[in-house]
Amino acid sequence: MFAFMEREVLESIRARLSKAKRVVFLGGAGVSTASGIPDFRSEEGIAKTTERYGIPYETILSHRFFFEHTDLFYDFYWSSMVHEDAKPNLAHRVLKEYGDRHILFIVTQNIDDLHELAGSQRVIPVHGTIHSYTCTCCGRKATLNEIPHHGVPMCPICHAPFKPDVVLYGEPLGEEELMGAKAATEYADALIVGGTSLQVYPINALPRLFSGSLSILINRDETPLDDRFDFVIHEDVGTALSAILEGL
């Protein structure tokens, strides 16, 4: 592991990254915490907010729970998963600016669309988005702006509940998104992973597909895959990305 603030290490990262033609950024919840969106496992994370329900968040945010306890699911969902006032932070902005100058694919586990709001173009949201909904009966689509942000949103046509287009526990990832994430990783020259504990399958398997020349992990805490990366930086994601990417 290398200390982030060592100048020679930073210069080495930038020199090697400047030679990359295709870069993949794989991001998790830690990318959006600076925007006021909680992660899952920290002291202030989503896991803590489920304590008042007495139910683990993996259960509340599961496919089965949605259909068996739709009212309770949405009570938690509106209070803990939807953050309408969140804005892109430094990490999102730096990645957007770098992507304007280079071929950059962003594989995000987040459902907040902040990369898209920042203006990034090549974004693969493997866990879906809170901004899109599908009727559980007729398949009618709706956007977040078209449904009430309280209670259970119902389809105006068949009066069945809308389900958010996010991947719940017990559901597979979308085939198109997963294949896109795998292809982007396999053909990348450089891989940057940021703000994720790399504990959720199958996304935590993506780094094993990477065979390029430079891999960087940026996360405040250690992960099970730290030893697979060329550089490991235990710092704030936005601060580290800014130091590495700006000006390249």
Please list, in sequence order, all residues whose beta carbon lies within 8 angstroms of the beta carbon of residue 193, skipping any fewer than 6 positions away: 25, 26, 27, 207, 215, 216, 217, 218, 219, 229
Q: What is the structure's pLDDT at 5?
A: 54
What average pLDDT does the segment 95-116 reach? 98
Q: What is the mean pLDDT of the chain?
A: 94
Q: What is the structure's pLDDT at 169?
A: 96
Q: What is the structure's pLDDT at 2?
A: 46
Q: What is the structure's pLDDT at 71?
A: 97
Distance in angstroms (rounded) separating the CA atoms of residues 100 and 87? 19
Query: Residues 28-41: pLDDT tens digits?
Result: 999 999 999 998 76
Which of 92, 115, 127, 131 does the annotation list as catalytic?
Answer: 127
pTM score of the predicted model: 0.94
What average pLDDT does the segment 19-34 reach? 97
Whether 81 contacts 94, CB under 8 Å: no
Query: Residues 164-187: pLDDT tens digits?
Result: 999 999 999 999 999 999 999 999
What average pLDDT does the segment 17-45 reach? 90
What average pLDDT does the segment 124-145 reach? 98
Whether 221 contacts 197, CB under 8 Å: yes
Query: Residues 141-156: pLDDT tens digits?
Result: 999 999 999 999 999 9
69 tagged catalytic: no
**Sheet (strand 162-166) strand order:** 141-143, 128-135, 162-166
